[in-house]
Amino acid sequence: GTKKKAACPGLGLFYTILSAFLFSVASLFLKKIEDVHSVEVSAFRCVFQMAFVLPGLIYYKTGFLGPKGKRIFLFFRGFLGSTAMVLLYYAYQVMPLADATVITFTSPVFTSLLAWIFLKEKYSLWDLLFTLFAITGVILIARPPFLFGSHVTGIEGSYTNHLKGTIAAIASTFSAASTIVILRKVGKSVHYFLSIWYYAVIGLIGCVIALFVLNEWRLPHCGRDRVFLILIGVLGLGGQIFLTKALQIEKAGPVSIMRTMDVVFAFILQVLFLNHLPTWWTVGGALCVVASSSGTAIRKWRHSVKKAKQREI
């Protein structure tokens, strides 16, 4: 018989790099948008998500609510996921692009901690060490005055906004880690499209309510900003698709490590298009966070490979 054609080596890692690039460019466009609140940008992103997922739900006949026993988990997945998106977009708008991107890569550390608390997964001394590395990286980026003095350089605008952005980025990362723990709890009993559907619908409802409460709804003033809003939705969706495809054909460990290219792209785009040179504090914080997230990913990867070999034996 004919042999099955082998998959292209490294294709999953290429998809991961492409996903990181698309996410980074979308973040750059977000920085370029003027006078549009992060909540409104998030609402546009949710509309694109819904438009993409709806045909998939109809094709796979998954329904719109999901299994009865899983709906509460799907609700919290949607709520926490959309909250993470809004907070991250706010962080991008008020602090340097590279700083906000680096903080988001503390997510694996938070995921390990929450999985230990709620899923009773193992939490070793190595995990604790990686957590301390991540905290050190965030401190180097935030540079609180009581440690670094009252004159903080290399930030955008006032230190108050920088601090608000740091808190928003950390809260976004914590929310994103919570969604991963929820998705692990749900497992494969719920279709991937249904998970995104809850994310988009709950996010859109929450964003619309927030915009009316904040009285921040407005159309962008010029055509350029409207194009940027559309591109953010398209690029964000493209990044998510390529990341999903990467995880389908490549092990999670290498994908998690390669995703740190997002930090590299953020630094490059910040220098080239925003004329903002990162400080050595930011570079040091980035190295700490990347080392922490990569170490966590490698440990999880080795553990999964070890378990797979034990099953074969």
257 neighbors 294 (Cβ within 8 angstroms) = yes
Q: Using the structure block, give the residue that is written with the tokens 């949607």.
A: 78
Which residue intervals of 61-214 are DSSP H helices?
Answer: 71-94, 97-104, 107-118, 125-142, 145-148, 159-186, 192-214
Q: To 5 degrees, how large is the angle CA 26–CA 10–CA 110? A: 55
Residue 5 — pLDDT band, cuts 50, 70, 90?
A: very low
103 neighbors 166 (Cβ within 8 angstroms) = yes
242-291 tens-digit pLDDT? 887 787 677 766 777 788 888 889 999 999 998 888 888 888 988 998 88
| Average confidence (pLDDT) over 11-40 | 87
**Per-residue pLDDT at 107:** 81
In this structure, what token pair is assigned to residue 28?
A: 């750059």
Neighbouring C-alpha atoms within 13 Å toward the C-beta of 20:
26
Containing 150, the helix (H) or strand (E) segment is: none
| pLDDT of residue 6 exceeding 70 | no
| pLDDT of residue 196 exceeding 50 | yes
Domain ranges of the chain: 11-310
Q: Decide: helix, strand or coil at residue 154.
A: coil
| pLDDT of residue 34 exceeding 90 | no
140-185 tens-digit pLDDT? 888 877 667 667 776 777 888 888 999 999 999 999 888 888 877 7
Lowest mean pLDDT among 44-48, 72-76, 85-89, 237-241: 237-241
What are the DSSP calls for 270-307, one per residue? HHHHS--PPPHHHHHHHHHHHHHHHHHHHHHHHHHHHH
CB-CB neighbours of 264 under 10 Å: 17
- Helices 280-312 + 97-104 axis angle, to 10: 30
Neighbouring C-alpha atoms within 13 Å toward the C-beta of 138:
24
**Per-residue pLDDT at 7:** 57
Which of 300, 306, 304 minimizes the C-alpha distance to 115?
300
**Per-residue pLDDT at 171:** 93
**Per-residue pLDDT at 276:** 83
**Per-residue pLDDT at 170:** 92
